């Protein structure tokens, strides 16, 4: 059988070809998968190291965040109305809305305190506001309510335009909306 194999240059070329084929098979079957495995493991390790760094930073920041959360829970004064009763909180809200209206140069035609409602551990205090003013003044008042401290919400906005008069005249429009804010407590807190 050894005599059936080519010899000379032809045999050398065949031997070199078989060696290259064997190397390609070894590369494709063994080396390449090992390199891919090494690469994926290196990526996974780098990802885990980055994750460890982020988690270490979070763990380091945790005490400060917990202290900030505890402080905010103890002093929610910036987020809620002052007052131990719905009546006091309602009067405070009404006074603040009137002050914002004056700052926006809006003249209120009506302001009415609404009955308070229980929402979780808070009482929702509301006032219904009506005014007749130009659009820019109404928008300034709504912006003041949005930016107010304690936080306030606007609901049930109704705008009614006055009949058309002269062109280019800045006619007022009638606006009505409800402003809500919250106080800490329950309805039982109002009872003597």
* Cα 159 from Cα 137, distance rounded (Å): 13
Tokens of 149: 């401290």
Instruction: Classify 83 in phi/psi space as left (phi over 0), alpha (psi -120 to 50) or beta.
Output: left
- pLDDT given for residue 3 in this prediction: 65
Mean pLDDT of the region 125-136? 87
Q: Which of 51, 73, 95 delimits the end of a domain?
A: 73
- Domain residue limits at 62: 2-73
DSSP for 44-81 reads HHHHHHHHHHHHHHHHHHHHHHHHHHHHHHH-GGGTS-
**Whole-number average pLDDT of the chain:** 82
Which residues have CB under 8 Å from 70's CB, separation 6+? none
Does the residue 44 lie in any domain? yes
23 neighbors 32 (Cβ within 8 angstroms): no
Q: Which of 44, 73, 102 delimits the end of a domain?
A: 73
**Given pLDDT bands bounded at 50, 70 and 90, which one contains residue 189?**
low
Q: Nearest 5 degrees, angle CA 90-CA 93-CA 96?
A: 150
Does the residue 78 lie in any domain? no
Same domain, yes or no, for 162 and 92?
A: yes
- pLDDT given for residue 159 in this prediction: 85
* Higher pLDDT pick, 191 / 29: 29
Task: Read off the pLDDT of residues 139-176 as tens digits, 9 standing for 90 and up.
Answer: 888 888 888 888 888 888 888 876 665 555 567 788 88
Same domain, yes or no, for 62 and 90?
A: no
Same domain, yes or no, for 168 and 123?
A: yes
Phi, psi of 111, rounded to the nearest 5 degrees = -145, 125
Task: Read off the pLDDT of residues 72-114 as tens digits, 9 standing for 90 and up.
Answer: 666 555 677 777 788 888 888 888 888 888 888 888 888 888 8
159 neighbors 174 (Cβ within 8 angstroms): yes
Checking DSSP bridges between strand 108-119 and strand 153-161, what pairing results, if any?
A: unpaired
Q: Domain of 172: which CATH number?
A: 3.30.70.60
Same domain, yes or no, for 159 and 127?
A: yes
């Amino acid at each position: 059988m050894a005599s059936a194999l080519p010899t000379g240059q032809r045999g050398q070329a065949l031997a070199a070809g078989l060696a290259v084929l064997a190397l390609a098979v070894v590369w494709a079957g063994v080396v390449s998968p090992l390199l891919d495995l090494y690469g994926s493991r290196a990526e996974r390790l780098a990802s885990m190291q980055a994750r460890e760094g982020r988690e270490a930073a979070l763990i380091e920041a945790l005490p400060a965040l917990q202290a900030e959360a505890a402080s905010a829970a103890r002093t929610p004064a910036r987020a809620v109305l002052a007052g131990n009763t719905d009546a006091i909180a309602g009067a405070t809200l009404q006074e603040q809305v009137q002050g914002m209206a004056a700052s926006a140069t809006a003249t209120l035609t009506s302001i009415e305190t609404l009955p308070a409602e229980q929402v979780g551990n808070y009482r929702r205090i509301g006032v219904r506001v009506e005014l007749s003013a130009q659009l820019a003044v109404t928008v300034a008042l709504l912006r003041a309510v949005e930016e107010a401290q304690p936080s306030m919400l606007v609901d049930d906005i109704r705008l009614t335009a006055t009949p058309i008069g002269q062109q280019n005249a800045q006619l007022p429009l009638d606006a009505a909306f409800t402003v809500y804010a919250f106080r800490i407590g329950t309805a039982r807190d109002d009872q003597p």
